[in-house]
Amino acid sequence: MTPNIDTKDLYRLPQEERRLGWILRDRAAKEGDRTFMRMGDATHSFAGTHAISTDIARGLRNLGVGSGDYVAMMLPNCTEFVLTWFAAALRNAAIVPINPQYRGFLFDAPLRETKTRGLVIHRDLAEALPTLDSKMLAQLEWVAVVGGIEGLDLPPGVNAFEFADLQVEGTDDVEIDGTYRDIHCVMYTSGTTGPSKGVLLSNAQFFSSASVFLRAVALTRDDVLFTPLPLFHGLASRLGVLPALIIGAEIVIGERFSGTRFWQQAAEASATVGHTIFSIPPVLKAQAPGPQDTAHTLRCMYNAHHDAEFETRFNVRLVEAYGMTETGLCIFTDYPDRREGSSGIVHEDYEVQLVDDFDNSVPVGELGEIVLRPKKPYITMQGYLDKPAATVEAWRNLWFHTGDIARQDADGYFYFVDRVRDRIRRRGENISSWDVENFANAHPAIAESVALPYPAPGGEDDIRLVAVLHVGKALDAQTLADWLEERMPRFMLPRYIEFTDSLPRNPASKVEKYKLVNRGLAADVWNCEAGTTSRPARER
């Protein structure tokens, strides 16, 4: 059922109110013992969340954490993630969520760049600590371990204690009332095209994204939001936990995404709104049909391309919007409005245009890179941490360059096409890898695929297709090449075809295309022009 509300009025949050402390206090006072957050057997009310976060903030204060400090967190999905995040915000400190899979220099970088003195880590991830550089270990003044420290083999000199010891009861006021300009979080980009960068996000930007999400799905106090996505990633946190807090809704956090259990988990949560990413709907469609497909209460799922077949089978609406870690949500439509295939129109707080390689605006209907700038202060990133050159490059000509290609129709609706780095230039034509993948994914034996540029003479590209088959399906490269030739424009046909059991992904489930590029062609890749390969028919 579509909520009958005026979203613009309900979800408009003034700049000066974009701070977590007063919102947390206000919701605790108004919602009291109503459930705010559930995960597994753990349940926290609005009032309880405020109380525990305040106690943890008191513990952080005792460790010297205050305005301008950073609190690093290496945690799987758990309620302690949210409670630590809120506690740090109460101290006007910024959180630094770290990918739980990081080890060595990848783990070292966010700690070093933020000069973090304290870390909250789960005991199941404590094995990462010895992989840190000795200087980095010496920098850490304290380490709070979720799940306890008994039996852990910790590096010498590490001041580790149980997370429970951070929770210090009291009646004194420990909150530092910051401003919307203060840094709320250093969010590290997912690194699908290269090394991660620390993005400085203000309070204003965190709450701006949450407010746009509220409008995109028309979230109300009566909704239950289910997210199986990682909390260290922005979608589950600032587009999940935070909007639920703002509006007084309930959020249910899954341990991780499971294609076989997603609908069951959503049903058990009594969820009305669900989180997804573009790679999840194909995984769900690949599951065998059954009663679980509609035995749920979800009315919409955010964020994915429109798919009529998916919506009909699962009786749920897919919602699409556009944004980045650096920009926040800037293109969307107010629920339930949409134009099929489009990410939406420009939010009133931004200017957006499409430009060519020389930053000139392109005509309506033509492809161009999305560039934008804010109309309000502090609602886009405040820079890449310790990377001034990358910051200046991204903001060249006073517009933030997203690296994404799109087209715009005459009514102002934007249609995402590709990443700039994923665009393929062949025989004078610009080719969208997304288009190539769509053609390939239409084959009944293919579960998913990625199209990549492969260097060709004359500074152009050949097309390399890497495909994953559905379990139990068989397909050889020549058969696929013949099938594609009947359906695709000739200039878009892949020259190289290879199969793999799975695509490399980061913990946010985004395909890491750069790893496939770095890996190079497989030894048994099929060269469509030569018609040769040693690979037999692939079967799963």
Query: How far is the C-alpha of 373 from the C-alpha of 399, rounded, in Å?
Result: 6
Instruction: Over range 9-31, report the average pLDDT.
Output: 84
Residue 194 CA, chain-centre distance (Å), reads: 16
202 sits in which H/E element: strand 198-202
Reading the block at residue 254, the tokens are 């899954």
Closest CA to 166 of 151, 149, 185, 182: 149
423-539: CATH topology is GMP Synthetase; Chain A, domain 3 (3.30.300)
Among 102-106, 362-366, 371-375, 527-531, which stretch is predicted with the lowest mean pLDDT? Answer: 102-106
> What is the C-alpha separation between 175 and 393, in angstroms, rounded?
37
Structure tokens at 415: 């249609």
Q: Comparing 18-256 with 347-420, is the CATH topology the same?
A: no
SS3 label, residue 88: helix
Please report which confidence band the pLDDT of residue 115 belongs to, taking 50, 70 and 90 as the band edges. very high
Domain boundaries defined on the chain = 18-256, 347-420, 423-539
Per-residue pLDDT at 269: 98
pLDDT at 10: 55
* Closest by Cα among 486, 405, 411 to 442: 486
Tell me what pLDDT residue 505 has.
84
Q: What pTM value is reported for the model?
A: 0.81
Q: In Å, what is the CA distance from 11 to each residue of 209, 215, 456?
A: 11, 7, 51
Q: Distance (Å, rounded) from C-alpha 218 to C-alpha 272?
A: 11
CB–CB of 278/302 below 8 Å?
A: no
Instruction: Give the span between the Cα atoms of 54 and 44, in whole angstroms.
Output: 14
**Cα–Cα distance, 124 to 420 (Å, whole number):** 38
Token pair in block for residue 245: 């807090």
- Give me the mean pLDDT over the 431-449 stretch: 87
Q: Which pLDDT value is given to residue 36? A: 98
Q: For residue 491, what pLDDT is reported?
A: 77
Return the higher-pLDDT residue of 509 and 102. Answer: 102
Q: Does residue 132 have a pLDDT over 50?
A: yes
Confidence of residue 359 (pLDDT cuts 50, 70, 90): very high
> pLDDT > 70: what percent of the chain?
93
Question: What percentage of the chain has pLDDT greater than the value 90?
Answer: 76
* Residue 344, both tokens: 């939406």
User: For residue 464, what are its two tokens?
Assistant: 């390399």
Pick the CATH number of 18-256 from 3.30.360.10, 2.60.40.10, 3.90.180.10, 3.40.50.980: 3.40.50.980
Cα separation, 454 vs 265, whole angstroms: 41
Strand partners, 446: 469
Place of tokens 């910024």: 94
CB atoms within 10 A of CB 289: 9
pLDDT tens digits, residue range 479-526? 999 999 888 777 789 999 999 999 998 766 778 887 898 889 999 899
Q: What is the pLDDT of residue 430?
A: 66
Q: What is the residue whose two structure tokens read 């460790």?
A: 63
How confident is residue 357, by pLDDT bands cut at 50, 70 and 90?
A: confident
Q: Which residues contact 433 (CB under 8 A, 6 or more apart)?
A: 418, 419, 422, 423, 424, 450, 451, 452, 453
At 291, list the tokens: 């009663």
Would you call 454 helix, strand, or coil by DSSP?
strand
Q: Do 480 and 443 meet the contact criterion of CB atoms below 8 Å apart?
A: yes
Specify the pLDDT at position 303.
94
Q: Is the pLDDT of residue 398 over 70?
A: yes
- Mean pLDDT in the chain? 90
Tokens representing residue 48 in the block: 């309880």
**3-class DSSP state of 298:** coil
In angstroms, the CA 63 to CA 117 distance is 10
153-210 residue pLDDT tens: 999 999 999 999 999 999 999 999 899 999 999 998 754 444 568 999 999 999 999 9
Better-predicted residue by pLDDT, 14 or 203? 203
Distance of CA 362 to the CA centre of its chain: 29
Q: Does position 532 have pLDDT exceeding 80, yes or no?
A: no
* Positive or negative: CA dihedral 446, 280, 196, 371: positive
The stretch 279-300 carries a mean pLDDT of: 93
99 with 191: CB under 8 angstroms? no
| Calpha distance 176→436 (Å, rounded) | 52
Q: Where are the beta strands (DSSP E) in 107-191?
A: 118-122, 142-146, 160-162, 183-188
Residue 540 has pLDDT above 70, yes or no: no
Q: Are 250 and 223 in contact (CB under 8 A)?
A: yes
Shortest CA distance to 413 belongs to which of 344, 366, 365?
344
The vertex-24 CA angle with 32 and 86, nearest 5°, equals 120
- The SS3 call for residue 451 is strand
Model confidence at 530, pLDDT cuts 50, 70, 90, reads confident
539: pLDDT strictly greater than 50: no
**What is the rounded distance in angstroms from the CA atom of residue 2 to the CA atom of residue 184?**
33
What is the C-alpha separation between 355 and 404, in angstroms, rounded?
Answer: 11
Q: At what angle do helices 46-62 and 79-90 cross, to 10 degrees?
A: 60
Tell me the per-residue pLDDT of 233-255, one tens digit each, with 9 for 90 and over: 889 999 999 999 999 999 999 99
Pick the CATH number of 347-420 from 2.30.38.10, 2.40.160.40, 3.40.50.2300, 3.40.50.620: 2.30.38.10
79-83, 91-95, 242-246, 508-512: least confident range: 508-512
Q: What is the mean pLDDT of residues 247-265?
A: 96
> Is residue 5 pLDDT above 60, yes or no?
no
Q: Which two tokens stand for residue 408?
A: 């715009």
**Distance between CA atoms of residues 238 and 185, nearest Å:** 10
Q: Kindly state the average pLDDT of the residues 6-25.
A: 75
Mean pLDDT value of segment 353-357: 94
Token pair for residue 123? 């005991």
Exposed / middle / buried, residue 275 (Cβ in 10 Å: 0-12, 13-18, 19+): buried
Note the Cα 316 to chain centre separation in Å.
21
456: CB partners within 8 A, 6+ apart: 426, 462
The H-assigned helical ranges of 172-293 are: 203-217, 234-236, 242-247, 262-269, 280-285
The candidate with the shortest Cα–Cα distance to 466, out of 486, 488, 444, 496, is 496
> For position 99, what pLDDT does the model report?
85
d(CA 307, CA 440): 16
